[in-house]
A and B are shown apart, each in its own frame.
Chain A
Amino acid sequence: MLILNAPKIKSSEITDHQLYLSRRSFLVGSAAIALSSLHPGGPGPFRSAATAQPTGQPLKAERNKLFTVEEPLTPFKHVTTYNNFYEFGTDKEDPSELAETLKPHPWSIEVSGLILKPKTYGIDDLLRLSPLEERVYHLRCVEGWSMVVPWIGYPLSSLIKRVEPTSQARFIEFTTLLDPKQFPGQKKRLFQVSSLDWPYTEGLRMDEALHPLTLLTFGLYGQVLPNQNGAPVRVIVPWKYGFKSAKSLVRIRFVSEQPKTTWEKASPHEYGFYSNVNPKVDHPRWSQETERRIGELRRRDTMPFNGYADQVASLYSGMDLKKYF
Chain B
Amino acid sequence: MVWVICLGPLTHLLYQLQTDDLGANPIRYVTHKLGDATLRILMVCLSLTPIRLLFGMAWQMMLRRLLGLFVFFYVSLHFSVWIALDHFFNGKRLLTDIIKRPYITVGMLGLILLVPLAVTSTSWMMKRLGGKNWRRLHKLVYVVGVLGVLHYLWLVKKGVNTPFGYAAVLIVLLGIRIWNWAKRRHASRTSSSALTVG
Contact = CB atoms under 8 A, between A and B. Distances in A.
Interface of A: 1-2, 4-5, 7, 9-10, 12-16, 19-20, 23, 26-27, 30, 33-34, 37-38, 43-48, 77-78, 81-82, 86, 90, 92-93, 143, 145, 189, 191-196, 266-267, 282, 285-287, 289-290, 292, 294-295, 297-299
Interface string B122-159: 11001000011001000000000000000000110111
B188 interface: yes
A1 to B, nearest CB: 7
Chain B binding surface, main DSSP class: helix
B97 A45 contact: no
Contacts of A289: 93
Contacts of B88: 298-299
A19 B64 CA distance: 12
Q: List 8 tightest A-B contacts by C-beta distance, closest first.
A: A82-B24, A78-B24, A7-B131, A45-B26, A34-B80, A45-B22, A15-B65, A13-B61
Residue among A7, A45, A82 with the highest chain B CB neighbour number at 10 A:
A45
A45 B84 contact: no
A267 B192 contact: no
B115 to A, nearest CB: 13
Nearest to B154: A285
B178 interface: no
Given A2-B191, A14-B123, 11 more contacts: A2-B192, A12-B61, A15-B66, A16-B62, A20-B123, A27-B73, A48-B20, A77-B24, A81-B24, A292-B28, A295-B24
A46 B103 CA distance: 28
A7 B133 CA distance: 10
Interface string B71-103: 001001100110011111000010011001111
Nearest to A74: B24
A15 B60 CA distance: 11
Given A34-B77, A90-B159, A145-B25, A15 B20 contact: no
A43 B158 contact: no
30 contacts: A1-B195, A2-B188, A2-B192, A12-B62, A13-B62, A19-B66, A20-B122, A23-B65, A27-B69, A33-B14, A34-B76, A37-B80, A44-B20, A45-B23, A90-B157, A90-B160, A92-B25, A93-B23, A193-B161, A194-B158, A195-B159, A196-B158, A285-B101, A286-B97, A287-B93, A287-B97, A287-B101, A292-B25, A292-B27, A295-B24
Nearest to A91: B160
A34 B84 CA distance: 9
A81 B191 CA distance: 65
Contacts of B77: 30, 33-34
B23 A4 contact: no
Q: Main SS of chain A's interface residues?
A: loop
Nearest to A45: B26
B158 A44 contact: no
Contacts of B73: 26-27, 30
Nearest to B85: A37
Contact of A286 (B22, B24, B26, B101): B101
A285 B103 contact: yes
B26 A15 contact: no
Contact of B158 (A10, A12, A266): A266
Contacts of A14: 62, 123, 126
Nearest to B185: A4
Contacts of A191: 161, 164
A243 to B, nearest CB: 10
A285 B195 CA distance: 57
A75 B89 CA distance: 28
A44 B126 CA distance: 42
A43 B24 contact: no
Interface string B100-119: 11110000000000000000
A286 B77 CA distance: 21
Contacts of A33: 10, 14, 77
B150 to A, nearest CB: 13
B58 interface: yes
Nearest to A266: B158
A10 B58 contact: yes
Given A37-B85, A287-B96, A194 B25 contact: no
B61 A10 contact: yes
